[in-house]
Structure 1
Amino acid sequence: MPVIRKGAEANLLLENFTRVLHPAGGGKVLVKHRISKGYRVKELDKNLRESRTALEAKLLADAKRAGVPTPLIYEVDRTGMKIIMEYVEGERVKTFLEDLNPSERQEVCELIGEQIARLHKFGIVHGDLTTSNMIRTQEGKIYFIDFGLGEYDPSTEARGTDLHLLWRTLQSTHHKVSNESFKAVLNGYKREFGESASEIIQRVKEIKHRGRYIPKEERA
């Protein structure tokens, strides 16, 4: 299988549907293989990889139930530590966000904010909200991918941390449009989440101002 991305915890492989699932199928599928870590105790490594594989598959399915586009799960192999899923055709938001005109960028970012709110209302935090983990299809849908660091946590702290990670991504990767983009994300988030979104957004501000995130020149 051709490896299209190697990660710290898993490799992504692009494969033919007919080869890995059923000869009557067509097109491509994505295989996420959670790899073994030699420095871990063997049994612990196996348990961790199995539990994370199962959890990620459940998060992907529940995110879809929450109204967030995610790849379809075709098969979960808990022995081989693999998830076989739909291969989503499209562009990563990272590649085009800065090239959009302001109104288009606002529309995309507000949609992203709405979808984050849907996850959070369902008790899901993504854990790795970056523009690399969002794919826009030709139909204009924004798919969220890679829930490998996700979890179920409805706390204000977890939700705020999730949003804060996206803010940091925008600051580092899309600095020229980071402020307007994050403002649009929060607009969409508030619209979808409702009145209690204000507590979460306040927590994002608090996280920003904690010592480790304050630039050296601003620290006392």
Structure 2
Amino acid sequence: MELIKQGAEARIYKAEFGELYFPWDDEKVIVKDRIPKRYRIEEIDRKLRKERTVREARILHRAKEAGVNCPYVYEVDTLNMRIVMEFINGKRMKELLEEVPMDERLSLCREIGRQIGRLHEAGLMHGDLTTSNMILRGEKVYLIDFGLADFDPTLEAQGVDLHLLRRAMESTHYTWFERGFKAVLEGYAEVRGEEARREIEAKIDEIESRGRYRERSWVG
């Protein structure tokens, strides 16, 4: 297995399907191991890691059922706190969106919005929506890295999801993020309707205004 990402909560490996199971056409998988935390009591640590491992797998399964492009889960190992899932081989959206013409960028952003719309329609929130956690494989945009995802159908959670995406796009794609985020909301509305779009836009504005109020209070 090849370590491809070391995070605070987990190690991410890429492996051949045959390394874990049986040979299958050079198929590759992602192996996510949740890391033990030494500062926690061992029993509590195992309980938390098991809960988070199972929750992530269930969310991926629910998202897939709802039509969201995301990895298939092959195995959930609650003894070693491990998820084995499909490897999405494609181009990361963070780089791709800077390479293609504007009309293609906006088309991809609308598809991002449709994927998020399906996720939210299923009562799920991603928790870490950035273009780094989106991959284009073929003509499909995939959402990946559901480590912070949760079962939460509230408008507040959905607003936070999209607020974080807007902030991430502003940071990474700052020269055109406003047009891009507008396209995201257009795709979102195609799935959830114009009323849901108006509600989510109002919630995003509210969340941003709360942040500005806290900044002013801190400065004051």
Distance across 2 between alignment mates of 1:179 and 1:102: 12
Distance 1:43 1:186, change over 3 A: same
Structure 1 residue 212 displacement after superposition: 4.8
1:1-220 correspondence runs (5 A): 1-23=1-23, 26-137=26-137, 139-194=138-193, 195-212=195-212
Distance across 2 between alignment mates of 1:95 and 1:200: 27
How many correspondences in the alignment? 218
What SS does the aligned partner of 1:85 have? strand
Q: Deviations over 1:106-141 (max 9, x none)?
A: 10000000110111010000010011110001x210
Distance 1:28 1:112, change over 3 A: same
Asked if 2 retains the 8 angstrom alpha-carbon contact of 1:57 and 1:83, the reply is yes
Distance across 2 between alignment mates of 1:39 and 1:213: 35
Distance across 2 between alignment mates of 1:214 and 1:184: 29
Distance 1:208 1:25, change over 3 A: same
Distance 1:210 1:15, change over 3 A: same
Asked if 2 retains the 8 angstrom alpha-carbon contact of 1:98 and 1:177, the reply is no
Distance across 1 between alignment mates of 2:70 and 2:102: 26
Structure 1 residue 27 displacement after superposition: 2.2
Structure 1 gaps of 5+ residues are none
Distance 1:213 1:185, change over 3 A: farther
Q: Supply the AA of the counterpart residue of 2:29.
A: V
Distance 1:22 1:215, change over 3 A: same
Q: Deviations over 1:151-202 (max 9, x none)?
A: 0111110000000010010011111121111010011111211123311221
Distance across 2 between alignment mates of 1:189 and 1:33: 32
Q: Where in structure 1 do 4 or more consecutive aligned residues deviate above 3 Å?
A: 23-26, 211-216
Q: Supply the AA of the counterpart residue of 1:20.
A: L
Distance across 1 between alignment mates of 2:114 and 2:211: 29
Q: Deviations over 1:2-24 (max 9, x none)?
A: 20011111111011111112245
Q: Deviations over 1:41-71 (max 9, x none)?
A: 1111101110100111111111111111111
What SS does the aligned partner of 1:209 have? helix
Asked if 2 retains the 8 angstrom alpha-carbon contact of 1:208 and 1:214, the reply is no
Distance across 1 between alignment mates of 2:140 and 2:179: 21
Distance across 2 between alignment mates of 1:213 and 1:172: 21
TM-score by length of 1: 0.94
TM-score by length of 2: 0.94
What SS does the aligned partner of 1:57 have? helix
